[in-house]
Amino acid sequence: MPAPSERPPAASVESVREELRRLGYFESGLDRFVLGGARPSSTLAAAWRVAWRTGIAGGGVLGIALTLLAASLEPQGSIEASDLALLFLYLGAIAFAITTLVTLGLGLLTATLARGAPGRRSTLLPRVVSATLAGAGALYLVFWWRSHGGVAAPSTQAVFLLIGAAVSGLLGRFGALASVAVLSAAGAVDRVPEAALSRRHLLPLFLLCAAVLVGSLAMAHRLEARATDGPDFAVVPTGLRVRVVGIDGFERRMAEQMIARGEAPNLAALLARGARATLRVEPEQIPAIVWTTIATSRGPEAHGIRSAGMRRLPGMTAAVPLEAGRLATAFARATELVRLTRQAPPSALLRGAKTFWNVASEKGLRVGVVNWWATWPADPVNGFIVSDRAFLKLEKAGRNEDDVYPDAAFVALRALAGAAGPTRPQRLDAFHAEALRVLSRDAPADVEAVYLNGLDVFTMQALGSASANVADLDARLESVRSYYRFLDEQLGRLADGVGPNRMLVLVGDPGRFARRSDKDAAGLLLIAGGPAQAQELPPVSERDVAPTVLHLAGLPASRELSGSVLEQALDAGFRKTHPVRFVDGYGRRPRSRPAESAFDKDVLEELRSLGYIQ
């Protein structure tokens, strides 16, 4: 038998296939399917014929594997058969496209390298291609699993490792067969290794894929645990309870006019006794971004909330962040039109930075949060969280789906959801203010926060499309002044009890209308009670809120935060006994299990009605 390097190139379909049979190929259905396109032709045509055949095989295998793994993650097997079939088609189509393109590229690379490789050395090319494709498949599965199954049971994790290694090994086998087919079609059968030699590498390839999966998952878990834990530090008790009241749409100049007219007595009293400052606003105009920045003292590039919503891929529970902007909006609409993605409300799933209440709760302080942006699904905390979609769920008499934590708090709030009010924004603010008072009545929290967005919504509705008619504009302005009077009443109730041991931090952001119509729009920061001194401070940043609240609660400031502790607002005695402490960081927010709710559509309709999304 002549040596492989001495065999002449095959010149016909039959001679190519005969040579491949002699080398031990075509003995299995997989070989026959993938190598069925092996015939003398141009390199591109040969690579394409093999690529789509490999894509079909790889798409089917990957689609089935990923569908089974996704189904195993559904609680109590709740996924419907129709959804399972749709998920398989979706995942299979994606796997087909990826496998086809990767195989096409590797096939062309194989042909290129084979031209310049000596005879015996070129027989290594199928092995190299096989290892490359198997490794790429293993890494993809690692990222997919980290997104979907990182909190699955150990038994499910073990099954994933076995399936993942098998799938990656199969992809490697597809890659090897694709290389063989390209070499054969290019007339280089003399450079194709024997099938037995190729198959002997399947077990090592399987073990390599398993090692890649185990090592990558272990490393990712270790790095995430290290990033989540953060440094250890202690609470230095201050004896203070801090309540943060965030009011969206609160413009300082408008508030001062109301005080001058004697129509905001509660605000006037708080300003007279507290430290106050003009609040420099964040450049973003989207409330979800602004108020997450306030709560974390980190920018959107760090905290992860980048728009008024997010996108979901059909069949996927993991959320996809979407940047704000015209291009992103156009992309979102285009992908939704062809049903590639669908819109979803902003969610805590995308938030990677810890809020001031997360940090406080982790250190044993009791916290209470109501209606802050991107708080669904509600984090388990030492205290309670009423998420930004809780009111709508209670109003529609729905069940608690992580809308409120703990569940007992959800039950306690049912009676409040039906309260009447002249406008929906007022009903929203009245409910959220009362919810904080009710849930903290029996067990006051050390750190509380409530977000009132009604004024921002009402102002946009009243003035956002104001006509040129002066009389009509005056009526609209009067309705906004009426809302300020309503909010002053709510503020009076929320400030009840402010004194030596109880502090109020009022954060007034000018809101969407002021930001769009006035480049110099500014908000108001007020710190009253406890060691706060009555004074006017220089302008401060919205990012100063979180570190200041944490300092008042006895916690150190993180060097990762963009803001600073407003020490100048506090008296000398407190500054001496409680100097500002620092830590390198708080660690990343623990990754949430991917969550999705059928209630998303109702939440989106509510956001549209309030003018947050189109």
> What single string gives the DSSP state of each residue in 83-121?
HHHHHHHHHHHHHHHHHHHHHHHHHHHHHHHHHHS-HHH
Helix (H, G, I), strand (E, B), or coil: what is residue 526? strand
- From the list 163, 165, 145, the residue with the least C-alpha distance to 317 is 145
Mean pLDDT of the chain: 78
Task: Classify domain 241-309+348-609 at the CATH superfamily level.
Answer: Alkaline Phosphatase, subunit A (3.40.720.10)
Give domain limits for the chain: 4-229, 241-309+348-609
Task: Identify residue 283 by its one-letter amino acid code.
Answer: P
Cα-only R_g, the chain:
31
pLDDT at res. 239: 96
Q: How far is Cα 375 from Cα 387, in angstroms, rounded to an integer?
A: 5
Q: Which of 14-23, 92-101, 449-458 has the highest mean pLDDT?
A: 449-458
Question: pLDDT of 563-613, one tens digit each?
Answer: 999 999 999 999 999 999 999 999 888 766 555 666 778 888 888 888 887
Residue range 368-394: mean pLDDT, rounded: 95
Amino acid letter at 207? Answer: L
What local confidence, expressed as pLDDT, does residue 321 receive? 52
User: What does DSSP assign to residue 225?
Assistant: H
- The continuous run of DSSP H or E covering 611 comes out as none
Confidence of residue 427 (pLDDT cuts 50, 70, 90): very high
The 10 Å Cβ neighbour count of residue 510 is 25
Whether the CB-CB separation of 444 and 241 falls below 8 Å is answered with: yes
HEC readout, 111-123: HHHHHHCCHHHHC
pLDDT at position 513 is 92
Q: How many CB atoms lie within 10 A of CB 522?
A: 18
Does residue 246 have a pLDDT over 80? yes
Residue 435's pLDDT is 97
212 vs 258 pLDDT, higher one: 258
pLDDT in tens, 337-368: 444 556 677 788 878 899 999 999 999 999 99
Q: Which residues pair with 532 in a beta bridge?
A: 570
Mean pLDDT confidence for 210-236: 61
Is the confidence at residue 560, as pLDDT, over 90?
Answer: yes
- In single-letter form, the type of residue at position 124 comes to L
Which one, of 503, 509, 501, lies nearest residue 525 by Cα? 509
> What is residue 365's DSSP assignment?
-
Higher pLDDT, 290 or 346: 290
Q: How confident is the model at residue 327 (pLDDT cuts 50, 70, 90)?
A: very low
Strands 557-558 and 582-583: what pairing? parallel
Residue 442, CB-side half-sphere exposure with 13 Å CA sphere:
5
- pLDDT of the residue at 594: 53
Strands (E), 361-497: 367-370, 383-386, 404-405, 447-452
What is the per-residue pLDDT across 449-499, written as a single tens digit (0 to 9) for each?
A: 999 999 999 999 988 765 556 667 888 899 999 999 999 999 999 999 999
At residue 157, the pLDDT reads 64
β-partners of residue 523 are 279
Helix 81-116 vs helix 43-73: crossing angle, to nearest 10: 150
pLDDT at 337: 46
Q: Would you say residue 508 has pLDDT above 80?
A: yes
Phi, psi of 449 (to 5 degrees): -150, 135
Rounded-to-10 torsion of CA 296, 380, 230, 543? 10
For 318-322, 389-393, 412-416, 589-593, which range has the lowest pLDDT when averaged over its residues? 318-322
What is the model's pLDDT at position 328? 47
Local structure of residue 563 (DSSP, 8 states): S
| pLDDT higher than 90, residue 410 | yes
Position 25 confidence tier, pLDDT thresholds 50, 70, 90: low
Q: Copy the structure tokens of residue 35.
A: 């190598």
Task: Check residues 459 and 81 and name the one with the higher pLDDT.
Answer: 459
The pair of three-digit structure tokens given for residue 66, joined into one six-digit string? 């990923």
Give the pLDDT confidence score for residue 109 in this predicted structure: 75
Average pLDDT over residues 398-411: 94
Q: Who has greater pLDDT, 285 or 241?
A: 241
In this predicted structure, what is the pLDDT of residue 10?
A: 40
CB 251 within 8 A of CB 514: yes
d(CA 344, CA 331): 15
pLDDT at 190: 53
Instruction: With a cut of 50, say whether residue 331 has pLDDT above it.
Output: no
pLDDT above 70: residue 159: no
Could you give the angle at which helices 454-463 and 470-494 cross, rounded to 10 degrees? 180
